[in-house]
Amino acid sequence: MVSKQSRLLATAFPYLDIFSVFALTPPPQSFGHTPHRRLRRYLMTGYVCYAAAILVMVFLVTYVNIIAIDEEVLEYNVADFTRVMGNIQKSLYSVMAIANQLNMLFNYRRLGNIYKDISNLEMDMDEAAQCFGGQEQRHSFRFRMALCVGIWMILVVGSMPRLTLAAMGPFVSWLFKILTEFVMIMQQLKSLEYCVFVLLIHELVLRLRHTLTQLQQEFQDCEQQDMLQALCVALKRNQLLLGRIWRLEGDVGSYFTPPMVLLFLYNGLTILHMVNWVYINKFLYDSCCHYERFLVCCTLIINLLLPCLLCHRCINAYNCFPRILHQIRCTSAESNFPMLARGLQEYSLQMEHLKLRFTCGGLFDINLKYFGGLLVTIFGYVIILLQFKVQAIAEDRYKSSSSG
């Protein structure tokens, strides 16, 4: 099993097991080599059937919620674009589920290769760091995983039902309200699954940066030719490992492109949908669920902020490498040893061309800059939405006063 060879994956697998319960990712244990191949095949067949049952449930939940939103629109007599917006927002339940299931089906081998690359990178980094006393004892990865993923997962699972049950209205039965809560939580947890892989990449970058910092200290005090040559070999190995991290990020980005694009679209549209209903209820003197809907909007925004923040921190750690290379270049050994000069130049050129970017298929980058643009876009559409609602209500009042 790859988790037995990798401490990082052993830390991440409990979270991924939870995501597999929500049919978001295949069970991580299915990627290991086990002598009980027949049992493993039976387990995977059972999981495929379970994922198919989840997909059927999502279709049923989508249908029931679309019927409910149509009845609610007729009761409130707000059949403008509210019906269209609501139907699109509910239909995204099924679209996101289909995209995630197809992504797991067609990218199953890619996900297995991602696990294998992480395990191999960790072992190669530990081996490369043995010459410098090994990697520093880091307990922060388990803590950061629990802080960024575990605590937020508990908050999402615990708070979403409390905030959204009352807002579903009387046209959805309690059974389908519970199923709808399961579907909504399932969709939001996809962001946390992505965060797990970002944290894994971040930890690999931090470990490699620590090794490069140790190399810098060794270069400062080294004047022997044999030792300098050995350090140049270690520098080249560090460069190759960093290139493998860059390729790993590309594989992770390709794997998560369809679900993450749909998640950003769904959260943005859901915020507009909730703002629209808050305005409708306020106009009809119904003060129910305003506070809860505001908290749900905040939850959706934070769920998009978290991956952007983690990606931004990982990029900042990656961008520290040129500064360390510059400090190595400033040592006296660089001018006396041409091999070191060529190695530093090649490493610097690689850093210039291989920029670390967490992106969704090139459509947009996942970082704080994009998140700021996303907030501006959402607020812009909210303003436009409210302007249309004010104009529609003013026209209705004018027609009612003229007829009266």
Amino acid at site 370: Y
**Alpha-carbon span 9 to 2, nearest angstrom:** 7
Domain coordinates in residue numbering, the chain: 2-19+108-163+187-403
Q: Is the CB of residue 27 less than 8 Å from the CB of residue 222? A: no
Q: What is the pLDDT of residues 46-95, one digit of tens each?
A: 899 999 999 999 999 999 999 988 888 777 776 667 788 888 999 999 99
Positions of the chain with pLDDT lower than 70, given as ranges: 1-5, 32-37, 78-80, 132-139, 222-223, 282-290, 332-336, 389-404
pLDDT per residue over 189-211, tens digit each? 999 999 999 999 999 999 999 99
- Residue-wise pLDDT tens digits, 321-337: 999 998 888 875 555 67
Identify whether the C-beta of residue 90 lies closer than 8 Å to the C-beta of residue 66: yes
The angle that helices 108-128 and 225-283 make with each other, rounded to 10 degrees, is 140
Do 356 and 244 touch, CB atoms closer than 8 A?
A: no
- Residue 73 one-letter amino acid: V
pLDDT value of position 82: 79
> Distance of CA 149 to CAs 27, 144, 197, 376, Å?
18, 8, 11, 26
Q: Say how far apart CA 382 and CA 384 lie, in whole Å.
A: 5
pLDDT of residue 33: 57
Cα–Cα distance list, 52 to 49, 152, 189, 275 (Å): 5, 27, 19, 33
Q: Is 341 left (phi over 0), alpha (psi -120 to 50) or beta?
A: alpha
Query: And the tokens for 44?
Result: 């995977």
CA distances from 91 to 145, 241, 294 (A): 32, 43, 22
pTM of the model as a whole = 0.90
What is the spatial distance between Cα 140 and Cα 202, in angstroms, rounded to a whole number? 12
Whether 115 and 25 have beta carbons less than 8 Å apart is answered as no
In the block, tokens 């699972």 appear at 157
d(CA 272, CA 270): 5
Q: Where are the alpha helices (DSSP H) in 22-134?
A: 37-76, 82-106, 108-128
Question: What is the Cα–Cα distance from 192 to 251, expressed in whole angstroms?
Answer: 17
Task: List all residues 6 or more positions away from 282 whose beta carbon is below 8 Å from its beta carbon.
Answer: 290
Number of H helices, E strands in the chain: 14, 0
How many Cα neighbours within 13 Å face the side chain of 14? 10
- The torsion of the CA quartet 219, 225, 226, 227, rounded to 10 degrees, works out to -10
Q: Who's near 151: CB < 8 A, 6+ residues apart?
A: none
Residue 359 three-state SS: strand
Which helix (H) or strand (E) is 383 found in, with range? helix 368-403
Rounded Cα–Cα distance for residues 102 and 11 (Å): 27
Which pLDDT belongs to residue 231?
Answer: 83
Helix 174-221 and helix 321-329, axial crossing angle in degrees, nearest 10: 0
Which helix (H) or strand (E) covers residue 166, if one does?
Answer: none
Q: Look at residues 185, 127, 119 and name the one whose alpha carbon lies nearest to residue 155.
A: 185
